[in-house]
Each structure stands twice: as C-alpha cells, then as structure tokens.
C-alpha cells in the first residue's frame, strides 16, 4: 500500500496536470470497489473544474469548482494513469504499485479532460471514490484519523500523553491511523531506527525524550522521502516517469543481515514479523 510520501508525490504530479482543468466526461466501468461507486458519480464530476488536488494522510482529495470534493483512496493495488489523447506516453503510472504502463484490464474509472484522461486501475479493488458535498462533511469524513506527522499537534506532549498506560508496542502505534495518520510499514521502521527505539518496546515505557525523537524523526524521514520522490519498492513513478529514490537511503528496511550503518555500532539488521508486518531494526543500537 502506498504511504504518505508516495501519495504526496501523486498529488503533486496530478495537481500540475489537472488543476483548473475542466472534466469533460466520466466513465465508470466497474462500480464494485471497496465502496460501491454511486450512480450520480459521473454527473457529480462532469463540467466541474478541478480547483486543487489536495492530500490528507493517504487520501487524495480532488476539490471541485462547486465546492464539493472527490475523495480517492488507492487501496492496496490502485494506480492512477495519465493518458494523452494524441501523444503516446509509455510511462503512464502516477502511483505506487504494479506496472508503470497502463495495464490491459482492471480499468474501473476514467476521467476525461480536453487533451488527456486519467484512468484508475485496481486489480484488488480495495480503493474507492467518494463524493463529499462540502468542507464540513470532508472534515467529518476524515475525523477518525489522527494528526499527520507534519501537524504541529504531533509533538512530544501529544505522544507522551497518548502513550500513558498503553500496552501496545511502539511499531504498532506508528501504524495506527487513529494515533498518527499517513505512516506505513516502511517509514515506521526508518523512524524507529533514527530514534534508537526497538520496535517491540511498549509505548507506555517510552521516556519524554524518546517521544520527542519520534515526533522529530517522523517529520525528517517523511520529508526526506518526499524530496527523493518516494520509495520505488516496485514500479512507482510519477506522471513524468521519474522513479522514486528513497529506497537507496533505507537505513534498515529490507537490509536484513547487513551491518548497521550507525557510526561505531557493531549490530546487524534483523527482521521480525510484528502483527504480520515485516519489521527491520538493529538489535544493538535500538533499545
């Protein structure tokens, strides 16, 4: 599943291409995604301009000229492809997983603009589209999510207070979207490495300094990933065919058996399954 940096790269790419562009036509080829696409979906988008492409957590938000919003989630395998009407573009994928070319099937939604279209492809159909009628309803729809790592609310005091008397381990908390929204499996391992915290450590045992480190390093890791175009574990490319490079900067993720890169650390990177998710850490310098 794409994490916050990858969704942000898609947002940036789409915003450059479709901002202030008018939707000419919409074709829904399969309404049976995670949530069934309503019958009025096409008419809700048609003739509207995309005023802005926004993001919150792992959600894309297409803000429309009539003050409604189209909420998009890519799910596990959803990809958005950009197809020009005249010029044949071989690299079409704006998303994280699957082929960087337009697949031959599983195209569920097509949104047409004057000179191009965007196509939503999703073999597993865990993604979805929803029309949200106004800003208040959008806020309500996303209210179950915790603050983003970039939010000023996500600080030492918030984390320390949230963790009091909590028995769950810190790795699971970083993946808990009610606690903090947007962090996924890759970046949780990287954040904990920079913070020198073992992923299995109980949250209630964290000291205030460790909570401060988590707040600081969450921002640092995600901003670094965004600046490098995301992590191309498979075939993630943006709309300009540029591949993400953050995977070249992994400190622990997918480095099982390799020496720890921390200065003067003699540790070896270990792999452990926590709640059925692969977790990578140094058994020496992460306490």
Contact 113, 64 (CB under 8 A): no
Global confidence as pTM: 0.87
121 forms bridges with which residues in the sheet?
79, 107
Residues with catalytic roles:
2-3, 58, 277
DSSP tag of 23: P
**pLDDT tens digits along 45-62:** 999 999 999 999 999 999
- Helix 156-163 to helix 208-227 angle (10° resolution) is 120
Which pLDDT belongs to residue 77?
83
CA–CA dist 193, 214 (Å, integer): 10
Is 1.10.8.50 the CATH number for 156-282?
yes
Going by C-alpha positions, the residue among 196, 188, 259, 260 that lies closest to residue 3 is 188
Place 234 in a pLDDT band, splitting at 50, 70 and 90. Answer: very low
Tell me the C-alpha distance between 83 and 239, whole Å: 10
| Residue 128: partners with Cβ closer than 8 Å, 6 or more residues away | 33, 34, 35, 37, 71, 72, 73, 75
Long-range CB contacts (within 8 A, 24+) of 260-263: 260/284, 260/285
pLDDT given for residue 248 in this prediction:
59
Please determine, for residue 64, whether its predicted confidence score (pLDDT) is greater than 70. Answer: yes
**Contact at 8 Å (CB) between 218 and 191?**
yes
Report the alpha-carbon distance of residue 153 to residue 57 in Å, rounded: 15
**Regarding the domain with residue range 4-141, which homologous superfamily does it belong to in the CATH classification?**
MutM-like, N-terminal (3.20.190.10)
Cα-Cα-Cα-Cα dihedral sign, residues 231, 235, 239, 245 = positive
Instruction: Kindly report the average pLDDT of the chain as a whole number.
Output: 90
Q: Which is more confidently placed, 2 or 193?
A: 193
Angle at 43 between CA 20 and CA 76, to 5 degrees: 75
pLDDT above 70 as % of the chain: 90
Residue 228 confidence (pLDDT) above 90:
no
Residue 158 CA to residue 215 CA, distance in Å, equals 9
pLDDT, position 99: 63
What pLDDT does residue 239 have?
Answer: 44
State the angle between helix axes of 208-227 and 185-194 in degrees (0 to 180), rounded to the nearest 10: 130
Distance CA 162, CA 208 (A): 12
Report whether 180 contacts 149 (CB < 8 A).
yes
8-state DSSP, 283: T
Confidence of residue 112 (pLDDT cuts 50, 70, 90): very high
Domain boundaries, the chain: 4-141, 156-282
- Provide the β-strand partners of residue 280: 271
- What does the pLDDT read at residue 6? 85
User: Of 45, 46, 121, which is closest to residue 82 (Cα–Cα)?
Assistant: 121
The proportion of the chain whose per-residue pLDDT surpasses 90, expressed as a percent, equals 74
Average pLDDT over residues 74-98: 77
Residue 225 is predicted with a pLDDT of 87
Task: Specify the range with the lowest mean pLDDT, choosing from 94-108, 150-164, 192-206, 208-222.
Answer: 94-108
Average pLDDT rounded to a whole number, residues 162-178: 95
Using the Cα atoms of residue 179, residue 180, residue 185 and residue 186 in order, give the sign of their dihedral: negative
Q: What is the DSSP letter of 247?
A: G
Between 41-50, 85-94, 195-204, the lowest mean confidence (pLDDT) is in 85-94
């Amino acid at each position: 599943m794409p994490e916050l940096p990858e969704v942000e790269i898609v947002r940036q790419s789409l915003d450059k291409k479709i901002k202030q562009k008018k939707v000419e036509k919409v074709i829904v080829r399969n309404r049976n995604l995670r949530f069934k696409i309503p019958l009025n979906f096409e008419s809700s988008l048609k003739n509207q301009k995309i005023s802005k492409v926004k993001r919150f957590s792992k959600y894309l938000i297409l803000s429309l000229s009539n003050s409604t919003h189209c909420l998009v989630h890519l799910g596990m395998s959803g990809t958005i492809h950009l197809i020009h009407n005249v010029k044949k573009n071989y690299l079409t994928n704006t998303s994280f997983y699957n082929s960087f070319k337009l697949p031959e099937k599983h195209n569920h939604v097509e949104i047409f603009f004057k000179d191009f279209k965007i196509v939503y492809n999703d073999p597993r159909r865990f993604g979805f589209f929803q029309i949200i009628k106004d800003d208040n309803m959008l806020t309500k729809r996303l209210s179950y999510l915790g603050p983003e790592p970039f939010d000023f609310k996500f600080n030492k005091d918030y984390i320390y207070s949230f963790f009091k008397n909590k028995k769950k381990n810190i790795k699971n908390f970083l993946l808990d979207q009610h606690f903090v929204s947007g962090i996924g499996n890759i970046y949780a391992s990287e954040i904990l490495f920079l913070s020198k915290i073992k992923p299995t450590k109980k949250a209630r045992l964290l000291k205030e300094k460790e909570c401060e480190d988590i707040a600081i390093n969450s921002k640092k890791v995600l901003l670094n990933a965004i600046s490098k175009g995301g992590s191309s574990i498979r075939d993630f490319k943006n709309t300009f065919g540029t591949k993400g490079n953050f995977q070249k900067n992994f400190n622990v993720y997918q480095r099982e058996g390799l020496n720890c890169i921390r200065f003067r650390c003699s540790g070896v990177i270990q792999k452990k399954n926590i709640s059925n998710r692969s977790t990578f850490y140094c058994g020496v310098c992460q306490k």
